[in-house]
Amino acid sequence: MKTHVRTRFSRAAIGSAAAILTAMLLAISWGQQPAGNSGNQETPREKAKAAEKEKIDAARETKQGAREQTREAREGARGTAREDRQTTRDAKADARGTVREDRASIREARRDVRAARREFIASRIRSGDLGLWLRRAAGGGLTVSDLNSRGAIASSGLKEGDEILSVNGQPVSSERDFVDKLFAKQESGQPVQVKIRRSGQEQMISIQPKVFVDEHLANDDRLHEYGIILDENSPDHPRVKAVVPQSAAFYAGVRSGDQITGFRGQRIEAVKDLVQSIINAAGGSAQLTVNRNNQQRQLDIEIPDENIPSDEQPRTALKPTLPDQPAPAPLPVPAPKTQPRP
């Protein structure tokens, strides 16, 4: 009996030991497995969070790239704007320079014209300045298309329709050629022989260049700068026909019908005296004496500056000094109104 019990107990102990050994072996085998196989297995929630994080990171990178592009675009726009402003400044500076050059050219041209008035320079004269207008003839010469009915050209012997063939034996084919040959020997004071064809007949006309020179130097174009237009029907005594608005004569008080009798204390008896006095006048102002309705009046007139264009001349209204002019009567003061008592 005892032996049977011992046998049973021994078998149970052996089974328990085997079970413990098996458990130990299983535990050892589990401990040798890679740690990541069981620890890194992600749950669906963790996977969703990881995907969401990746989306957020991608959105941030896209936003950052867009910001960089915006900065670059703004910098490019600023650079373009700066270049445009600089281009505009350069264009304005060029335009100002061009305007200054044009004004300087205009001033120089005006000085040349004034110099040509004070001295006769044939190279600056055209036939129209003499009161003669020419056109090319079919045969190669020049034809008189029109001419003034007054002045030196009116007494030259030329007539409308005349064909000019030569000057002092030299053929002419252009207006410039005619003027240059006409005044080629003006210093000699000798007349010039002009060959013409009139009504099919050739004839010779003697023209004295000196009369054109004298007429040119006594021209009253200088008066236009003062705003004075003289009456052509009064060649001996300078009488004002009209006054240009906003001119020196206008602001001085010169009126149509005034006869100019003095300038800067010098007596004026003819148009040439007035023109010569004005040509020799310097800047500033001058006293102008006029006869208006048989009454002498003293006016102060501004002398235009030759170096300043007429449209840039200062506009100064100078009141005329009228001698023996009665003071204006004071305006009557109306008596105060009294209301009737009730």
Same domain flag for 140 and 158? yes
Determine, yes or no, domain membership for 161.
Answer: yes
Of residues 203 and 230, more confidently modeled? 203
28 part of a folded domain: no
C-alpha 267: how far from chain center:
43
Residue 238 pLDDT more than 90?
Answer: no
For residues 74 and 111, state if they share a domain.
yes
46: phi then psi, degrees, rounded to nearest 5: -65, -40
As a dihedral over the C-alpha atoms of residue 74, residue 75, residue 77, residue 83, rounded to 10 degrees, the angle is: 160
**Residue 115: pLDDT over 50:** yes
Is pLDDT at 258 greater than 90 in this prediction?
yes
- Same domain membership, residue 75 and residue 103: yes
Give the mean pLDDT of the chain: 77
Confidence of residue 1 (pLDDT cuts 50, 70, 90): low
Is residue 153's pLDDT more than 80? yes
For the chain, how long is the longest CA-to-CA vector?
Answer: 188
Output the CA–CA distances (angstroms, integers) from residue 307 to 32, 106, 226, 311, in the order listed: 111, 10, 15, 12
Residues 180 and 227 grouped into a single domain:
no
Do 182 and 204 belong together in one domain? yes
Asked if residue 291 and residue 231 are part of one domain, the reply reads yes
Residue 6 pLDDT exceeds 70: no
* Residue 222 pLDDT class (50, 70, 90 cuts): low
Q: With cut-offs at 50, 70 and 90, classify the pLDDT of residue 109.
A: low
Question: What are the φ/ψ torsions at residue 286 (nearest 5 degrees)?
Answer: -140, 155
Q: Is the pLDDT of residue 47 over 60?
A: yes
Q: Are residues 206 and 233 in the same domain?
A: no
The dihedral through the CA atoms of 305, 311, 315, 319 has a sign that is positive
The residue type of 213 is V
DSSP 32-92: TS-HHHHHSPPPHHHHHHHHHHHHHHHHHHHHHHHHHHHHHHHHHHHHHHHHHHHHHHHHH
| Whether residue 244 sits in one domain with residue 187 | no
| Alpha helix positions (H), 119-193 | 175-182
Answer yes or no: do 193 and 228 share one domain.
no
* Co-location of 86 and 156 in the same domain: no
Whole-number pLDDT of residue 316: 35
What pLDDT shows up at residue 270? Answer: 82
As for how many domains the chain has, the answer is 3
Using the 3D structure, point to which of 181, 215, 249 is the last residue of a domain: 215
Residue 29 lies in a domain: no
pLDDT at position 37: 47
CA distance 323 to 223: 25
Long-range pairs of 173-176 with CB within 8 A, sequence gap ≥ 24:
173/136, 173/140, 173/141, 173/142, 174/136, 174/142, 175/126, 175/127, 175/134, 175/142, 176/126
Q: Which of 159, 187, 215 delimits the end of a domain?
A: 215
Over residues 103-118, the mean pLDDT reads 61
**What's the mean pLDDT in 12-25?**
71
pLDDT, tens digit (0-9, with 9 covering 90-100), for 188-212? 778 999 999 999 899 999 999 888 8
Identity of the residue numbered 318: L
Please, which pLDDT band fits residue 79 given cuts at 50, 70 and 90?
confident
The whole-number pLDDT of residue 206 equals 92
**CA 55 to CA 249: how far, in whole Å?**
89
Comparing 81-85, 268-272, 317-321, the range with the smallest average pLDDT is: 317-321
Is the pLDDT at 155 greater than 80, yes or no?
A: yes
Task: Scan for tokens 């012997």, then name that residue.
Answer: 157
Residues 72 and 137 in one domain: no
| CB neighbours of residue 292 within 10 Å | 17
Report pLDDT for 8: 65
Beta-strand relationship, 132-136 and 142-147: antiparallel
Is residue 15 domain-resident?
A: no
Is residue 160 within 8 A of residue 190, CB to CB? The reply is no
Q: Which two tokens stand for residue 328?
A: 């204006």
Question: Is residue 181, in this structure, part of any structural domain at all?
Answer: yes
Lowest-confidence segment of 22-31, 82-91, 156-165, 312-321 by average pLDDT: 312-321
User: 137 or 296: whose pLDDT is higher?
Assistant: 296
Condensed to tens digits (0 to 9), the pLDDT of residues 262-303 reads 998 888 888 778 877 877 776 678 889 999 999 999 999 888
pLDDT at 112 exceeding the cut of 70 = no
What would the DSSP string read from start to end of 220-253? Answer: GGGGGGGTEEE-TT-SSS-BEEEE-TTSHHHHHT
Domain encompassing residue 81: 52-118
Identity at 192, one-letter amino acid code: V
Looking at the structure, tell me whether residues 244 and 306 fall in a common domain.
Answer: yes
d(CA 66, CA 249): 73
Packing angle, helices 209-217 and 44-118, rounded to 10? 120
Find where tokens 């069981």 sit.
38
| CATH number of the domain encompassing residue 131 | 2.30.42.10
Residue 325, CA distances (Å) to 122, 187, 297, 298, 322 in order: 50, 52, 10, 12, 6
For residues 228 and 38, what is the distance between their CA atoms, to the nearest angstrom? 117
Specify if 133 maps to a domain: yes
pLDDT band at residue 30, thresholds of 50, 70 and 90?
low
Residue that finishes a domain, picked among 174, 197, 215? 215
Does the predicted TM-score (pTM) go above 0.75?
A: no
Residue 21 in any domain: the answer is: no
> Does the residue 104 lie in any domain?
yes
- pLDDT for position 327: 41
Indicate if the pLDDT at residue 318 is higher than 50.
Answer: no
